[in-house]
Amino acid sequence: MRIGKITENALKRSVLKLLRTEYKDVKSAAVGSDCAFSSNKEAFSAVSTVTADVSDPGFYAVMKAQTALFSQGITPDHVTVSIMLPTDAEEKAVKDIVKGAISAAKMCDVPYAGGHTEVTDAVNRALVTATAVAGKSEGNLALSKPEAGEDLIITKWIALEGTSMLAAERKENLSSRYPIPFIEEAERFKELLDIRAEAAVAVESSAGAIHDISSGGIYAALWEMSERAGCGLEVDLRKIPVRQETIEICEFFEINPYQLLSGGALLLAAKDGESLVKMLEDKGIPAVVVGALKEGNDKIIINGEEKRYLESPQADEIHKVL
């Protein structure tokens, strides 16, 4: 199997099909869902695992898990972390991972409730899994379904998460072409990963759906939103917001920014996209309408005069570098 997130077809065949067979009357999660929920809709959870070789896996794992709940209008009650370390790891590694996890939890005002730590020869580098849990939540969007005709909006900028990782982990490589202040600015994108403010505005505006853009980048998120809606889409590539630092760093490593980790940005579906954009901008949150969901099955990306079909989600580009 390929490195990274399991393919959508494999997920449907080997995971979701089994769940539907064993729990015929229970609906919990599906392709494109940011979190799972209990049959009585009174418990929600989200899980995130960091496998990339980064210096702060605790931070990124916790941020992703709690963001998945916040993006649905759900406030986590707490987060737990499982840490698997290789046999040559030192105690400092545990401390650094936990410090990063606590930092992410505190950034979003979520209690860190501990977890499990183990040294094992089953891994050759740190493997960190965070689980965010919440109880009953009013007004959540976990069960909402986007519809054809709704506008598609992106908040802030894509690939913030992946750019910050690359800037931090490959600073020496990047310094051969770019000045240190440029690289450090990209590294600070880590501070933009909190999406609570934009999620709150989207929930208040009665957005049709919210999707946390993460593994696989904006291309994966667009595909998953379309699949969740059961229809096609049309998106203008040139309208997708991306920082210059991201463009430069992706060119350096010869990777695609549209398929790079994009925590910190949300993909929204709304009947009146421009009104939602104005609400977000009034709160100081950059946002732009990039396209719309369409009747039919075609998922089309427009780039000037060129039109092409969106491919199913690919392995995240971060794995090519880290």
- 169-185 residue pLDDT tens: 999 999 999 999 999 99
Do 94 and 83 form a contact (C-beta atoms < 8 A)? Answer: yes
- 31-83 residue pLDDT tens: 455 666 655 667 889 999 998 788 899 999 999 999 999 998 899 999 999 99
Domains plus CATH for the chain? Answer: 31-135 (3.30.1330.10), 151-320 (3.90.650.10)
What local confidence, expressed as pLDDT, does residue 124 receive? 92
